[in-house]
Structure formats: structure tokens, C-alpha cells
Amino acid sequence: MFIDFHTHPLNHRYYYDGLQPAALTERDKADIRGLLAQGVERGLDAIAVTDHDLALSGLWAADEARRLGLPITVIAGCECELYHRGEWVHILALGLKEPLVYTPYTPAADLAARIHAQGALAVLAHPMAYGPAAYHSLKAVVDGVEYRNGAQARRGAADFTAVLDADGYRGLRLCGSDSHWPDEPAREQWEARTEMGEEEFLRLFGVKL
């Protein structure tokens, strides 16, 4: 199985102005369909839809993929931005059943508890963008770490494997493209994916491909 655990079909829409729409527009839906079609073109078996602080798009994408009978499974999620120990960090919520309620100043442990209450996973996004201090302060809170991120790799950032190996990290190690539709994905983003067995995927997300 090939899975991309980090995508943004709505790009930065609703992000910088802090809006949380009650419903998706037709433009939003068209962009989500475009990203899903691109995921199929990339040969992915599953894709996580993780817009910035917005679970609505991922939840709709999962329903739409099933309705259209697309050959790709959608993991509903969002990328949560938190102010943590003096810096902004991002935590991916993967496998959501409904929108999350939190603010940028919700403690990371509280956010993780709210994610876990839905049977979903909390994953530290692109830790190479913050450095080891953020990772070490959050590793006991999250279920996994995005050890490689296509957008960061495009900008020349090394992956986080060396830090994880040196620390003996035993949580999930996931890879995502961090692609923002409709931006043309760089090669590092197009090829970014996590390889995972179907049984592990079923165990983590309760979805059979």
C-alpha cells in the first residue's frame, strides 16, 4: 500500500483569516475532487485530507470518494496549529469522525486527548521545520512523527530519521507530501508516500481497502 498522510486540497483557504466555514462551497468541493483525482494518478491506495485547522474538507472527501467509487481510500483529518513552548507547531489529526474543537492555545496533551477520543491518531507534522526540541517535548503526546515531508524536502531539509533513530523512537513514522492544491507538486512531493501493509492500515484506521 502507498499512502500520502498530509495534503491540502483547499491550499491556505480559510487559514490566514481564521474562518471556519459551516459548509463547503462548490469551489471547495471541486478542489477536493481534483486532489483525489491527482492521488489516483499518483498511484496512491489511500490519502489523508488534512486542511489547515479544518476537518470539514476531509470528512466530505471521505464520503465523496465512497460515493464516486474512487479507487482510493480517504483518511479524514486536519492539520492543527498550536502555540507550544514559544513556537508554532503543527499536529496532524488522522482518522477523524467529526470536527475537532480547539484553539491555537489548547495544550498539546489536551488536543491529543480530543483526537484520541475519536479513535484518531495525533502525528507531529514536519518536525524538521522546528528542530529536535519540539520533537522531544511532544514525542510522548503524539502517536507518530512525520519523518519525511515532501514540501520540506523540496526546500532542502533533510528528513528526521537520524533524530528518531538516535532517540530510539518507536512510534509511527509517516511520510506525507504536504501538497497544496492546485500547486504543481515538485518531484519530492509527487513521490512522497508511506508504505504500509493493509493489515496495519486496518488496525490503525478501521478501514478496509
pLDDT truncated to tens, each residue of the chain (209 aa)?
999 999 999 999 998 777 789 999 999 999 999 999 999 999 999 999 999 999 999 999 999 999 999 999 999 999 999 999 999 999 999 999 999 999 999 999 999 999 999 999 999 999 999 989 999 999 999 999 999 999 999 998 889 999 999 999 999 999 999 999 999 999 999 999 999 999 999 999 986 44
**CATH fold of 2-205, please?**
TIM Barrel (3.20.20)
pLDDT, residue 207, reads: 63
Q: Which residues pair with 47 in a beta bridge?
A: 4, 74
- Residue-range domain boundaries for the chain: 2-205
Q: For residue 176, give the DSSP letter.
A: E
The DSSP symbol for 184 reads P
Beta bridge partners of 73: 46
Q: Angle, to 10 degrees, between the axis of helix 26-41 and the axis of helix 56-68?
A: 60
For the chain, the helix, strand and coil percentages under 3-state DSSP, each to the nearest 5:
35, 25, 40
Global pTM? 0.96
Cis peptide before 182 (omega within 30 of 0): yes
Distance from C-alpha of 134 to C-alpha of 124, rounded to nearest angstrom: 9
Helix (H) or strand (E) holding 150: helix 150-154
What is the structure's pLDDT at 194? 98
**Look-up: residue for cell 467529526?**
98
Residue type, 87: E
CB 172 within 8 A of CB 123: yes
Task: Name the one residue in this structure whose C-alpha cell is 494518478.
Answer: 41
Burial class (CB in 10 A: 0-12, 13-18, 19+), 3: buried
Question: What is the predicted pLDDT for the residue at 186?
Answer: 95
Other beta carbons within 10 Å of 6 = 29
**Which of 150, 107, 113 shows the shortest CA–CA distance to 129?**
150
Full DSSP string of 62-120: HHHHHHHT-SSEEEEEEEEEEEETTEEEEEEEES-SS-----TTS-HHHHHHHHHHTT-
